[in-house]
Amino acid sequence: MKYLFPIVLLLLSGCEQAAEVSVADQSVRPARVYQVAQEGATINHTYVARVEAAQTVDVSFEVSGPLARMPVLEGQFVAAGDLIAALEPTDFLLAVREAEVQLKLARQDLERKSKLLNERGISRSLVDDAQALFDLSSVRLAKAREALADTRITAPFDAYIARRFIDKHVNVRAGEKIVRVHDLRELFLVASIPESLAATVSNDRLLSVDAYFDFLPDERFALEYREHVGEADAVAQTYEVTFAMPRPERWNILPGMTATLEVEISAVGGAGVAINIPTAALIADADKRFIVWIYDPQTHEVEKRVVEVGPAEGRGVTVRSGLQGGELIVATGASQLQSGMKIQVLGEPVTDL
């Protein structure tokens, strides 16, 4: 009996503690919420681009002969009309002189026979033959002069000498590459754009395109859209898009260098406004419609709302309609909710995707 009293006291105290334990409401679920913000309805993309010249020309002679002069060096800038290379002109000068003499003889013969024709001393056919010989001699002289002019190559524009393919004092064949020149007054930046973006982004949605280089991280260069290739790369399924920029005077940016492109586009074309939300906030209902859960901070309850989804661009998911800036939506655990269910918000509403 002496042990009975302590046991009874222990049982009574245990019952008292059990009565104080409350069971948590299992219908209230913890969740994080996201605050919808429009932020100008823009989406940013980043791509790697390569620098190309506005024009690239491999210059060559149209005639053959020994190379006599090549005053340019690789990495040198030359003005339009400056001499790039020249062949030994002696043979071509002699050909011009020979054609001039033949033309002079043909002219004299034509004049003499024309005078005899007027005096009825010869037939008309002889004069016609002399006229044809004179015309042929004129053509030969023109071709000789053209060949002489072709012994000199001059810069077709203000050019940058990228590469020399041949040295002086060698015999050059017609059409053989001599020098590669770039037109660097304008630079092209070519980037490979995925097909999903190429199919949905039009020129009116392109807000801005800037480029920066790793060796100039603090400078941004504004670009203009120029053109795009109409066929996809057979392997990567991407489309090459070309942007243009003036060549900066302070920096020696050359073809073959790489840059990073920052492309800003409107989320929706025209007057529509789009909103980006976290991917986890979007689910599909039984009718295969896209919905989100709207959180009411007054009642702590959630209600579903059907939204129209746009193309996947940038971060998160683009919603074209169904949401307004400032609304709160459930960002995690959306698939476990039901209409009217209460949630307990974890922390502050998230605003960054």
- 105 occurs within a structural domain: yes
Q: What is the pLDDT of residue 194?
A: 87
Q: Are 83 and 154 in contact (CB under 8 A)?
A: yes
Q: What is the pLDDT of residue 273?
A: 55
Q: Quick one: average pLDDT of 328-337?
A: 87
Neighbouring C-beta atoms of residue 211, cutoff 10 Å: 24
Three-point CA angle 301, 306, 308, nearest 5°: 140
User: What pTM did the predictor assign?
Assistant: 0.62
Extract the tokens encoding 136: 């042929």
Neighbouring C-beta atoms of residue 41, cutoff 10 Å: 18
Neighbouring C-beta atoms of residue 221, cutoff 10 Å: 21
Q: What's the rounded Cα separation, in Å, for the pair 347 and 299?
A: 17
- 167 occurs within a structural domain: no
Query: Could you say which of 266, 297, 316 is where a domain stops?
Result: 266
Q: Using DSSP, how many helices (H) and how many strands (E) does the chain show?
A: 4, 23
- 3 occurs within a structural domain: no
Question: What is the number of residues in the chain?
Answer: 353
Q: Read off the pLDDT of residues 205-256 as tens digits, 9 standing for 90 and up.
A: 778 899 999 999 889 999 999 998 889 888 888 999 999 999 998 899 999 9
Query: Could you say which of 125, 150, 175 is where a domain stops?
Result: 150
Whether 5 shows a pLDDT value over 70: the answer reads no
Extract the tokens encoding 303: 């209600």
Instruction: Band the pLDDT of 40: cuts 50, 70, 90.
Output: low
Q: Which residues, other chains included, contact 134 with Cβ-Cβ below 8 Å and sequence gap of 6+?
A: 103, 106, 107, 109, 110
Instruction: Band the pLDDT of 278: cuts 50, 70, 90.
Output: confident
Extract the tokens encoding 296: 């009411």
pLDDT over 70 for what percent of the chain?
84
- Read off the CATH number of the domain in which 115 is found: 1.10.287.470
Q: Read off the pLDDT of residues 96-143 as tens digits, 9 standing for 90 and up.
A: 999 999 999 999 999 998 888 887 778 888 989 999 999 999 999 999
Same domain, 262 and 280: no
Whether 22 shows a pLDDT value over 60: the answer reads no
Domain count, the chain: 3
Same domain, 303 and 252: no
Q: What is the pLDDT of residue 123?
A: 84
- 63 occurs within a structural domain: no
Query: Could you say which of 210, 242, 266 is where a domain stops?
Result: 266
Q: What's the rounded Cα separation, in Å, for the pair 147 and 63?
A: 7
Helix (H) or strand (E) holding 319: strand 317-321
Q: Read off the pLDDT of residues 284-308 as tens digits, 9 standing for 90 and up.
A: 888 889 999 999 999 999 999 999 8
Q: What is the pLDDT of residue 322?
A: 86
Q: Quick one: average pLDDT of 245-268?
A: 88
Q: Which domain holds residue 94?
A: 89-150
